[in-house]
Amino acid sequence: MKILVCIKQVPDMESKFKVNAAGNWYEETDLAWRMNEYDEYAVEQAVQLKTQVGDADLCVLCIGSDRVKETMKKALAMGCDRGFHIADDESHLKDPFAIASLIAGYAKEQSFDLIFTGMQSQDRGSAQVGVLVAEMLGIPSLTTLVEFSYADGEINAKRELEGGIKAKVSCKTPALVTCQLGLNTPRYPTLPNIMKAKKKELLSTPVAEFNPVAAILETLQVAPPEKKGGGLILEGDPAELADQLIKILKEKTTALA
């Protein structure tokens, strides 16, 4: 069985974001980078499936600058067999359509039985790439999964809907699934596995070799949201803060009445 998992490297969302000089994305320096949270669930599910079926080849794919290889190594340490890196310093200027076209181009050649993606990326949050890849390949896709099982060429899964309701769905492979938070418990790579991952194949190919398509979505401007909040910001020593908060709760709420 051939399995692909697509991951993206994103900044830690607790970072302080500055708009870049071109005004079309955030400044990439001085940020801590990590695996897109949703993709950790995708990698974990792919690794579990590989363990289940035994005879499988699990490839992890990521489009981005050389910096993303660090995150790919984490996926290899979690249990992926090999890495396919599409080297692109300008990947942040590509829209979901352009990113999906690259992934679909590679996947078409390789004919994977199952493709895992996250339901969305934390920085761009478009929730498009996975479904677009599937549509480009002409295979079914199941999105926002919180439960997944596979047997004999069939996927049985649960999609998460609003309010905690789930929809039971199934489809035949080849297929693509997008993973939602809580689908499983992503493993932490162990030290021996981190060492082993260093020897795994991590092939890097320049994006130009894939004839990338042009983006169809243009970014006109990026800016922090206008501060609407009339909210009070308090800083300082915890004990003094606590006194201030109690005073405010007494004055502004009935909580301490």
Partner 1 sequence: MKTLLIAEYRDGKLLGTSSELINFSAQLGAGSAMFLVGSENALPGYSGKLYLAEATPATEFNPGLHKQLILEVIAKEQPQMVVLPHSSYGWDLAPRLALALNAAQISEVVEIKDGTLVVPSCNAKLRRQVKATTDISVVTLQGGAFTPADDPTGAPEVIKLEATSGGDIQFKGYEAAAATAVDLSKAEIIVSAGRGIGKPENLQMIENLAKALKGEYGASRPVVDAEWAEQSRQVGTTGQTVTPKLYVACGISGAIQHLAGMKKSEFVLAINTDKDAPIGEIADVLAVADLKQLVPILTEKLNAL
Ligand X SMILES: Cc1cc2nc3c(=O)[nH]c(=O)nc-3n(C[C@H](O)[C@H](O)[C@H](O)COP(=O)(O)OP(=O)(O)OC[C@H]3O[C@@H](n4cnc5c(N)ncnc54)[C@H](O)[C@@H]3O)c2cc1C
Contacts with ligand AMP by CB under 6 A lie at 6-8, 36, 38-39, 42, 61-64, 91, 96, 99, 117-118, 120-121, 124-130
**Does 217 sit near partner 1 (CB under 8 A)?**
yes
Q: Which stretch binds partner 1 (CB under 8 A): 82-90, 107-115, 197-205, 232-240?
A: 232-240
Lookup: tokens for 160: 């998460």
The two tokens of residue 97 are: 């359509």
What is d(CA 256, CA 186) in angstroms, rounded to the nearest whole number?
42
DSSP code of residue 19: B
CB of 206 to partner 1, least distance (A): 25
Out of 2, 10, 14, 140, name the contact with ligand X by CB under 6 A. 14
CA 235 vs CA 52, 215, 239, 245, 252: distances in Å: 51, 44, 11, 11, 19
> What value, to the nearest 5°, has the Cα angle with vertex 74 and ends 44 and 111?
60
State the nearest-atom distance from the C-beta of 145 to partner 1, in Å: 11
Write the DSSP symbol of residue 216. S
Answer with the entry of ligand X, partner 1, ligand AMP, none that 58 interacts with (C-beta below 5 to 8 A by kind).
none
Residue 171 backbone phi and psi in degrees, to 5: -160, 170
Query: What residue 191 binds from ligand AMP, ligand X, partner 1, none (CB within 5 to 8 A, per partner kind)?
Result: none
CB of 120 closer than 8 Å to CB of 181? no
Listed residue (16, 7, 60) closest to 36, CA to CA: 7
| 140 contacts partner 1 (rule: CB under 8 A) | yes
Nearer to partner 1, 58 or 139 (CB): 139
Pick one of 1, 2, 11, 93: the residue that binds partner 1 (CB under 8 A). 11
Residue 68 Cβ vs ligand AMP, minimum distance, rounded to whole Å: 8
Tokens standing for residue 4: 């692909």
166-185 binders of ligand X (CB under 6 A): 181
Q: Judged by CB under 6 A, does residue 235 bind ligand X? A: no
Binding mask 86-115 for partner 1 (x = CB under 8 A): ---------xxx------------------
Phi, psi of 186 (to 5 degrees): -55, 135
Residues that bind ligand X (CB under 6 A): 13-14, 181
